[in-house]
Amino acid sequence: MIYCGIDWAEKTHDVALVDDSGQLLAKRHITDDMAGYKILLDLLAEYGDTEEKPIPVAIETSRGLLVAVLRTGKRQVFAINPMAVARYRDRHSVSRKKSDPGDALVLANILRTDMHAHRPLPDDSDLARAIAVLARAQQDATWNRQQMSNQLRSLLREYYPAALDAFAAWTNGLCRPEARELLKLAPTPGKAAKLTRAQITSALKRSGRKRGIEADTERLREVLRVDWARQLPLVEDALGKQMLALLGQLEAACIAADDLAKAVEEVFPQHPDAGILLSFPGLGVQLGARVLAEIGDDHTRFADARGLKAYAGSSPVTRASGKKSSITRRRVKNDRLNHAGFLWAFAALTASPGAKGHYRRRRDKHGDWHAPALRHLFNRMIGQLYHCLQHGHRYDEALAFPSPPEGLEAAAA
């Protein structure tokens, strides 16, 4: 067997090939372009790389064009965490000296000695990878939108509390197009107090509102004319200009999140596993796409449901030493999947009587707080999802939660 290690960098990469005995067979320094990729593929072919029996490769990243080139065909590519590489480095050098060619050799030796302890990148379909790109981008855009909204809200509290009071009645307040249109029209409380009914009505119509315009117009006009403490005129104008700059960033984040959400809605239903995911209570198109993006569609990726639960961070971890043992939640996990799982479990409370009953039992009988109870519910449901994906079954409430919740039994009695 020949093993390849690649120390990845932004512009250049170091490559090392070793055999079963650990002897260094070849090393190269290649550039991050087509010429460098060709040198790498030619080097691998020189040492026996074929389409049917490719040489496995260890690298410290799972993304980028180099990884995309290596993943073509049946090649196994192992993404090794840089922290793990740092610990393996001590096996080869007590001086803790670090070098890029040395790290490439360490990566190759990781595969030679401990390939069984590391997982190759999953063999996901092209459609699953495309969904992963869109779902993660939409999740990032949503987080960015919330961050910009928080910054804008913090600024408005300093000089324009009437705006926050006016938008408090709307869900997602500052992120709504009505709020953004009104803030463009009146960036300071002085200008807001002078708005006429016609101006407010026009702003609501520009935002896309079709119903309840008259009632909201009257309410907004009254709230914006309430007396509040004011900044000095020059300071207020300066804060208004700062607010408009933040408002532009928030509007861009809102548009990006909406556009990416539409893209996910177009692509996700095309996947064969979409029907199974959407059959679960609490999983809509966006959350379902996020879950699929993180677990992929390679059904051999996890040996059993326990592996998927550990990857999602829903199952606890037991630490034992001597006579002492402790059970705590996992901190090393897929953070994106864990975040989606929390939202999934929370949404399932209103969509599934069985899920709500399970949550109540964790709270009432086991004394769990809200977050641990949701994590326990997520742990159960992701195990059910693993079973359904393996066997091609849709969610069945009667099988998922066979015992009826106590609350429903009491209500029926």
Q: For 338-389, what is each residue's pLDDT tens digit?
A: 999 999 999 999 999 999 999 999 999 989 999 999 999 999 999 999 999 9
List the chain pLDDT tens, one digit each, 413 residues.
899 999 988 889 999 999 998 899 999 999 989 999 999 999 999 998 888 899 999 999 888 889 999 988 889 999 998 888 888 887 777 666 778 888 899 999 999 998 998 889 998 999 999 999 999 999 999 999 999 999 999 999 999 999 999 998 888 889 999 999 999 999 999 999 999 999 999 999 998 888 889 998 999 999 999 888 889 999 999 999 999 999 999 999 999 999 999 999 999 999 999 999 999 999 999 999 999 999 999 998 898 999 999 999 998 887 787 778 777 777 888 999 999 999 999 999 999 999 999 999 999 998 999 999 999 999 999 999 999 999 999 999 989 998 655 554 554 43
Question: Taking Cα atoms as reference points, which of 167, 139, 140 lies closest to residue 152?
Answer: 167
- How far is residue 218 from each of residues 166, 195, 196, 198, measured CA to CA in Å? 11, 11, 10, 11
User: Distance (Å, rounded) from C-alpha 3 to C-alpha 109?
Assistant: 7
C-alpha to C-alpha distance for 146 and 149, rounded to whole angstroms: 5
Please give the angle made by the CA atoms of 245, 249 and 255, to the nearest 5 degrees: 140
CA-derived radius of gyration, the chain = 28
Residue identified by tokens 């199974």 is 276
Q: Calculate helix-pair angle for 285-295, 126-159, nearest 10 degrees.
A: 120
pTM: 0.85
Evaluated on CA atoms 230, 234, 235, 237, the torsion sign reads positive
Which amino acid is residue 294, in one-letter code? E
- Closest among 103, 107, 348, 152 to 252, alpha carbons compared: 152
Burial of 174 per CB tally in 10 Å (0-12, 13-18, 19+) = buried
Q: Which two tokens stand for residue 247?
A: 């408002």
Q: Which residues pair with 57 in a beta bridge?
A: 4, 77
